[in-house]
Amino acid sequence: MLFMKEQRPYVLATHKSLDSATVSMIIGKEGMCLCSWRALSENKRDKYYKEAKRLKQLHIQLYPDWPNAKGSAERPRDD
């Protein structure tokens, strides 16, 4: 989600009339743009995984009574 949020404006700058699903497909597929998630090295992907983990911990601290804050299963990473 963080990578998509960061890259979406760049894709929309060159493809203004695309819908959200198509923009997500472009960002996700290797070879469709320079900003592809699949084209990132493991080292660069780790930056986003670490930031997501940090934000999740912050959310748990800020909203301890949030229904999914405790006990939610970690989703496996899609590599």
3 state SS of 7:
helix
Give the model's pLDDT for residue 78: 62
Confidence label for 26 from pLDDT (cuts 50, 70 and 90)? confident
CB 40 within 8 A of CB 49: no
Give the model's pLDDT for residue 33: 63
pLDDT > 70? residue 23: yes
What is the arithmetic mean of pLDDT over 46-59?
Answer: 94
> Which residue is it, tokens 């670490």?
50
pLDDT in tens, 4-14: 888 888 888 88
Distances in Å between the Cα of 39 and the Cα atoms of 29, 30, 63, 73 are: 8, 6, 35, 27
pTM (2 decimals)?
0.63
